[in-house]
């Protein structure tokens, strides 16, 4: 495998992708869903309630390794843009990057130093290594749709498949991981087995995506930007992308904040520490599997932008309604969480369907296909958002007096701390996910505009 720019550009054919290619690509979301879910769900309580790390410090340990990806993701994008191999530019990273993530994820929860300062330092270093490997899987994976098809609607169909598998991955990893912890003895030992379980999911997703996309159309880049500064200059010239990226990152912070609070809400507000996390996750993700066809129809009627706004507002309204979670029966909280899950599914479908449109717009406008530049910055922003969420939730816990433990069981908390658990799960995510959609008024990349740019480019003499 070499890493030099290809001298030619190949446009992906504008015909529908086969079901096998769609399914193969979507399987990669087993890896992205598992890695994106479990650390946000269990790593913070693992540190505070098993290793005895103070909430504020635990938040930093979760934040800093993923914040590193803000630097490494653009680098991964540039590498994959320049890669030439018999497997294509992106697929080698699906295999080797994915397997690396799996091994390092299992090691992250191995806890060879017990509890205390040594244990927390080990987790931070292992998480940093895992996040680095993940960057080299995720960035090429997200770059592929813009090169697999030039069809505006086909990208929505492809993303619908991907988000459906993503929902399964989130459901299986997020709902089953706490069960694995509890059924294998809980505490540090239970988390070790959970790490092995999630690593197996990541392996399945990596191999599925690698072999499933063997026949997928590919695009080759003409050249790749030589530095992060040059990449940022390319991005600034693409206003639809900058608007979409800003919205997506802010909303990712909100989603990750809610994700980080699942176990805390189950323990201290719903008072269901055993089955609460699993039920909340099932209610959050389960409905998404049922509403994907509905969101596809909504997208056809309202367009991608309008549908993203609708999904975001549904998420925010449900999060605000959950403020009552401590004073209503748990079943009501589960139902409302299901409505939030419907909104979350729509957010994921349309944001990820609009990203390849922005990449295609840039390629049509400039004549240069460099998806890795955009997806590198996109995944860097997403990773930062998913890291800031737990950090923000940990800050709320710290400010409201949450007490940590090294016994594997959360201790009883004060009324103020329980209020912090509730507000961090409800009001904070709602304020992050809802109002930011106002920025989408500046997103003007319609199918007609994209088509007109492509036509104008085709008319330019060679």
Kindly state whether residue 208 falls inside one of the protein's structural domains: yes
Q: How many domains does the chain have?
A: 1
Does 2 score more than 50 pLDDT? no
Does 117 score more than 70 pLDDT? yes
Average pLDDT over residues 240-262: 91
Does 95 score more than 70 pLDDT? yes
Average pLDDT over residues 431-454: 83
Which residues have a Cβ under 8 Å from the Cβ of 144 and sit 6 or more positions away? 25, 90, 213, 216, 218, 371
- Whether the Cβ atoms of residue 145 and residue 24 lie closer than 8 Å to each other: no
| Residue 442: strand pairing partners | none
Largest CA distance in the chain: 72
Does 435 score more than 90 pLDDT? yes
- pLDDT digit string (tens) for 192-210? 999 999 999 999 999 998 9
Average pLDDT over residues 397-423: 83
pTM above 0.75, yes or no: no
Q: State which H helix or E strand residue 3 sits in.
A: strand 2-3
Average pLDDT over residues 265-277: 82
Kindly state whether residue 1 falls inside one of the protein's structural domains: no
Alpha-carbon gap, residue 141 to 206, rounded angstroms: 10
Kindly state whether residue 117 falls inside one of the protein's structural domains: yes
Q: Residue 124 CB: number of other CB atoms within 10 A? A: 17
Q: Residue 23 CB: number of other CB atoms within 10 A? A: 17
* Highest mean predicted confidence (pLDDT) among 36-50, 135-149, 244-258: 244-258
Q: Which of 428, 427, 431, 421 is nearest to 399 (CA)?
A: 421
Please report the pLDDT score of residue 199 as a whole number: 94
Kindly state whether residue 353 falls inside one of the protein's structural domains: yes
CA 80 and chain centroid, separation: 20
Q: What is the mean pLDDT of the chain?
A: 81
Specify the higher pLDDT residue, 232 or 294: 294
The three-class DSSP label of residue 6 is: coil
Alpha-carbon gap, residue 155 to 235, rounded angstroms: 21
Please report the pLDDT score of residue 13 as a whole number: 45
- pLDDT digit string (tens) for 36-62? 778 877 888 888 888 888 878 888 887
Please report the pLDDT score of residue 1 as a whole number: 41
Q: Residue 460 CB: number of other CB atoms within 10 A? A: 7
Average pLDDT over residues 270-289: 78
Specify the higher pLDDT residue, 220 or 446: 446
CATH number of domain containing 234: 1.20.1250.20
Residue ranges with strand state E in 148-270: none
Kindly state whether residue 6 falls inside one of the protein's structural domains: no
Average pLDDT over residues 277-306: 82
What are the contacts of 196-199 at 24+ separation with CB within 8 A? Answer: 196/106, 198/34, 198/35, 198/38, 198/105, 198/106, 198/173, 199/102, 199/103, 199/105, 199/106
Average pLDDT over residues 53-72: 78
Please report the pLDDT score of residue 10 as a whole number: 40
Alpha-carbon gap, residue 76 to 74, rounded angstroms: 5
Alpha-carbon gap, residue 313 to 316, rounded angstroms: 5
Question: At 9, is the pLDDT very low, low, confident or very high (cuts 50, 70, 90)?
Answer: very low
Average pLDDT over residues 411-439: 91
Please report the pLDDT score of residue 308 as a whole number: 94
Lowest mean per-residue pLDDT among 93-97, 240-244, 381-385, 431-435: 381-385
Instruction: Report CA-CA distances (Å) from 310 to 212, 260, 281, 433, 457.
Output: 33, 24, 22, 11, 33
Q: Residue 360 is part of which domain span? A: 17-216+226-457
What are the phi and psi torsion angles at 403 (to 5°)?
-105, 125
Kindly state whether residue 301 falls inside one of the protein's structural domains: yes
Please report the pLDDT score of residue 394 as a whole number: 86
Alpha-carbon gap, residue 35 to 132, rounded angstroms: 12
Average pLDDT over residues 200-222: 81
Does 288 score more than 60 pLDDT? yes
Does 454 score more than 70 pLDDT? no
Kindly state whether residue 300 falls inside one of the protein's structural domains: yes
Kindly state whether residue 12 falls inside one of the protein's structural domains: no
Does 69 score more than 80 pLDDT? no
Instruction: Report CA-CA distances (Å) from 459 to 9, 11, 98, 364, 365.
Output: 17, 16, 41, 11, 12
């Amino acid at each position: 495998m070499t890493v030099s720019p290809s001298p030619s550009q190949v446009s992906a054919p504008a015909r529908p992708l086969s079901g096998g290619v769609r399914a193969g690509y979507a399987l990669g979301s087993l890896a992205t869903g598992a890695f994106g879910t479990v650390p946000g769900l269990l790593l913070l309580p693992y540190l505070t309630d098993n290793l005895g790390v103070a909430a504020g410090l635990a938040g930093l340990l979760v934040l800093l390794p993923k914040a590193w990806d803000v630097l490494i993701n653009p680098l991964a994008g540039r590498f994959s843009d320049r890669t030439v191999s018999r497997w294509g530019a992106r697929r080698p990273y699906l295999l080797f990057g994915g397997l690396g993530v799996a091994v390092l994820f299992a090691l992250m929860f191995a806890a060879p130093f017990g509890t205390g300062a040594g244990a927390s330092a080990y987790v931070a270093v292992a998480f940093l290594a895992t996040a680095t490997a993940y960057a080299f899987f995720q960035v090429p994976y997200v770059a592929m749709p813009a090169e697999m098809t030039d069809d505006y609607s086909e990208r929505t169909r492809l993303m619908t498949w991907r988000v459906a598998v993503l929902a399964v991955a989130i459901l299986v990893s997020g709902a089953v991981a706490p069960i694995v912890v509890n059924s294998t003895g809980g505490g540090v030992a239970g988390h070790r087995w959970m790490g092995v379980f999630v690593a197996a999911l990541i392996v399945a997703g990596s191999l599925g995506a690698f072999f499933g996309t063997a026949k997928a159309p590919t695009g080759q880049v003409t050249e790749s930007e030589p530095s992060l500064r040059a990449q940022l200059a390319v991005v600034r010239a693409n206003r639809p992308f900058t608007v979409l990226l800003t919205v997506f990152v802010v909303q990712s912070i909100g989603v990750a904040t809610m994700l980080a609070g699942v176990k805390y809400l189950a323990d201290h507000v719903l008072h269901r520490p055993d089955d609460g996390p699993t039920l909340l996750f099932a209610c959050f993700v389960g409905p998404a599997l049922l509403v994907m066809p509905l969101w596809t129809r909504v997208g056809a009627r309202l367009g991608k932008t309008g549908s993203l706004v609708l999904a975001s507002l549904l998420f925010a309204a449900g999060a605000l309604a959950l403020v009552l979670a401590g004073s209503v029966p748990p079943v009501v909280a589960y139902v409302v969480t299901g409505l939030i899950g419907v909104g979350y599914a729509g957010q994921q479908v349309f944001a990820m369907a609009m990203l390849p449109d922005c990449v295609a717009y840039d390629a049509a406008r400039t004549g240069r296909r460099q998806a890795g530049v955009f997806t590198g910055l996109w995944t860097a922003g997403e990773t930062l958002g998913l890291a800031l969420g737990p950090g923000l939730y940990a800050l709320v816990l710290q400010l409201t007096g949450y007490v940590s433990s090294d016994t594997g069981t959360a201790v009883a908390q004060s009324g103020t701390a329980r209020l912090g658990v509730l507000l961090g799960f409800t009001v904070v995510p709602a304020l992050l996910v809802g109002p930011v959609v106002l920025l989408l008024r500046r997103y003007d990349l319609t199918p007609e505009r994209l088509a007109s740019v492509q036509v104008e480019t085709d008319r330019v003499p060679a």
